[in-house]
């Protein structure tokens, strides 16, 4: 009797639960449709933000005009914007909503030195010779991040969804120069999840270690000047120390893990041959697949500097320049992103887009494969050997990694070819796809407490395997003069390319 009653009560309860789940899914789908409509309606404004930032072409820590444009656009769209936090004038943090859950988009808008290039031209044709430019496509991160956040905001406002949507545009990603400072300033303390956004030739997400750890330090040796011919015995040559450090590290290379990377540039090699140099300087990057491994190599490098100073009777010091933990991609968030990648799909490339891509690949002497037509499968990417300072954030808060297809396969970043497409139709179509997947994924995280909870559980497990330690010395301040002289050299002459428009979302 009791059993029968239970069955009688049980069936409607299950039915109600199924209905609730079904309605929840339907509500989620409907919200995403609204977000997609907002993106489609504002696609031109998004492209205008990205194109404007392309022509501003600002180097890291000097993204003054770019962040001003983003600030004005986001404030007009109802966001609260803080510019200049953590001691960096071009650090932008924007928020809409209140309380938890709090989901942040993390990205950057800096350009690269010497990257000026007329878009759409296959020949090397700088807009302004020697000037900086977007030869990676960070300019489009500005449009996509703002667009996605606005679309999420529209959905949250209509449905009275509790929580906060935030965007972090960190300065100087190309020099790995800001995120450890953002972490130290506590920006991610009350954030439940972040999604890191980056241009790619593919539509993809991933989990586990995505890229490399890096430590960047500048070693300076201090000697004593003397006439190179008359009394060299009175001198102590700081450039000798630089050379010995270089040779010393080359001797070490054989004994390092195959996964390591180390590269250097001599930033002060003396003045002229007949003056024994009292100053010599060498700038090193050391990388590895994990931060403890990179740190182990770095500690050996420091001992080599000590030895080089001892051999030459010079003094020395080392200055922290930058560091980056490898990005730790969260699988639960990646799965949410992948579902939305499946929902949105690749952009509909036209024959003209494909023809342009193939002509471009041919002219750049790359495999002529055209544009990708399918998203990447989840978990199909190998750990890359490059680094990004947002890696630190992924050891503090669960992080999703998301690439959207706005560049041409085979065209590597950090060379001028990559500055040909960031403002063309391929980029613009990729941005629409990127903003939709990003908005839909944030809506999922914002409205599905279970998804955030499993992301947190996984994060605690995975991050405990390699306990995070900060590389940033406690007394170090951000290098806000970074790239200033270089930027000021060109900024005036670059102004004639500015679009001078005010993008507005509606």
Q: Which residues bind Zn ion (CB under 5 A)?
A: 136
What minimum distance in Å lies between the beta carbon of 349 and Zn ion? 23
The two tokens of residue 214 are 């890096």
Nearer to Zn ion by Cβ, of 200 and 347: the residue is 200
Nearer to Zn ion by Cβ, of 106 and 245: the residue is 106
What minimum distance in Å lies between the beta carbon of 198 and Zn ion? 6
What minimum distance in Å lies between the beta carbon of 423 and Zn ion? 17
According to DSSP, the residues that pair with 264 across neighbouring strands are 284
Q: Which residue has the tokens 């993390």?
A: 106
What minimum distance in Å lies between the beta carbon of 229 and Zn ion? 49
Q: Which residue has the tokens 């309606």?
A: 41
Burial of 151 from C-beta contacts in 10 A (0-12 / 13-18 / 19+) = buried
Q: Judging by DSSP bridges, how do beta strands 399-405 and 193-200 pair with one another?
A: parallel
Nearer to Zn ion by Cβ, of 136 and 444: the residue is 136
The backbone region for 67, taken as left when phi is positive above 0, alpha when psi lies in -120 to 50, beta otherwise, is alpha
What minimum distance in Å lies between the beta carbon of 172 and Zn ion? 11
Nearer to Zn ion by Cβ, of 211 and 338: the residue is 211
What minimum distance in Å lies between the beta carbon of 434 and Zn ion? 14
Q: Judging by DSSP bridges, how do beta strands 204-206 and 208-209 pair with one another?
A: unpaired
Q: What is the DSSP letter of 469?
A: -
Nearer to Zn ion by Cβ, of 65 and 136: the residue is 136
Q: Which residue has the tokens 């024959």?
A: 351
Nearer to Zn ion by Cβ, of 140 and 357: the residue is 140
Closest residue to Zn ion, judged by C-beta, is: 136
What minimum distance in Å lies between the beta carbon of 313 and Zn ion? 43
Angle (CA) 481 183 217, round 5°: 50
SS (H, E, C) 99-165: CCCEEEEEECCCEECCCCCCCCCCCCCCCCCCCCECCCCCHHHHHHHHHHHHHHHHHHHHHCCCEEE
Q: What is the DSSP letter of 259?
A: T
Nearer to Zn ion by Cβ, of 194 and 309: the residue is 194
């Amino acid at each position: 009797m009791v059993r029968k009653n239970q069955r009688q009560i049980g069936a409607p309860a299950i039915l109600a639960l199924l209905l609730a789940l079904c309605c929840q899914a339907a509500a989620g789908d409907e919200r995403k449709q609204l977000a997609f409509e907002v993106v489609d309606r504002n696609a031109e404004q998004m492209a205008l933000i990205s194109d404007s930032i392309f022509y501003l072409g600002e180097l890291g820590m000097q993204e003054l005009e770019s962040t001003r444009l983003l600030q004005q656009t986001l404030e007009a769209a109802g966001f609260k914007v803080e510019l200049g936090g953590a001691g960096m004038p071009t650090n932008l943090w924007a928020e809409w909503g209140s309380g938890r859950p709090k989901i942040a988009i993390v990205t950057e808008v800096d350009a690269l030195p010497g990257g000026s290039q007329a878009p759409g031209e296959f020949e090397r044709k700088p807009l302004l010779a020697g000037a900086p430019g977007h030869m990676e496509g960070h300019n489009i991160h500005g449009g996509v991040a703002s667009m996605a956040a606005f679309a999420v905001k529209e959905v949250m406002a209509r449905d009275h969804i509790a929580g906060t949507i935030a965007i972090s545009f960190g300065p100087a990603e190309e020099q790995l120069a800001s995120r450890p400072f953002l972490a130290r300033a506590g920006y991610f303390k009350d954030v439940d999840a972040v999604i890191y956004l980056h241009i790619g030739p593919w539509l993809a997400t991933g989990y586990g270690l995505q890229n490399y750890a890096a430590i960047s330090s500048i070693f300076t040796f201090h000697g004593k000047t003397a006439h190179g011919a008359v009394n060299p015995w009175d001198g102590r040559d700081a450039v000798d120390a630089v050379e010995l450090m270089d040779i010393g590290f080359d001797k070490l290379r054989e004994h390092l893990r195959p996964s390591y990377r180390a590269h250097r540039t001599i930033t002060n090699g003396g003045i002229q041959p007949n003056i024994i140099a009292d100053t010599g300087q060498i700038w090193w990057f050391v990388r590895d697949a994990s931060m403890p491994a990179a740190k182990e190599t770095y500690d050996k490098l420091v001992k080599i500097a000590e030895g080089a100073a001892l051999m030459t009777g010079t003094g020395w010091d080392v200055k922290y320049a930058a560091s980056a933990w490898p990005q730790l991609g969260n699988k639960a968030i990646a799965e949410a992103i992948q579902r939305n990648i499946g929902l949105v799909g690749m952009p509909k490339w036209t024959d003209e887009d494909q023809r342009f891509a193939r002509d471009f690949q041919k002219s750049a002497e790359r495999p002529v494969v055209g544009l990708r037509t399918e998203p990447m499968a989840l978990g199909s990417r190998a750990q890359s050997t490059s680094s990004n300072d947002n890696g630190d954030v992924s050891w503090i808060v669960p992080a999703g990694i998301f690439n959207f297809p706005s560049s041409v396969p085979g065209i590597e970043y950090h060379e001028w070819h990559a500055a040909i497409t960031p403002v063309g139709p391929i980029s613009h179509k990729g941005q629409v796809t990127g903003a939709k997947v990003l908005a839909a994924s944030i809506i999922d995280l914002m409205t599905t407490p279970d998804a955030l909870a499993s992301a947190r559980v996984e994060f605690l497990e995975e991050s405990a395997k390699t306990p995070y330690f900060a590389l940033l010395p406690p007394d170090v301040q951000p290098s806000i003069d970074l790239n200033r002289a270089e930027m000021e050299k060109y900024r005036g002459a670059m102004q004639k390319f500015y679009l001078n428009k005010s993008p507005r979302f509606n």
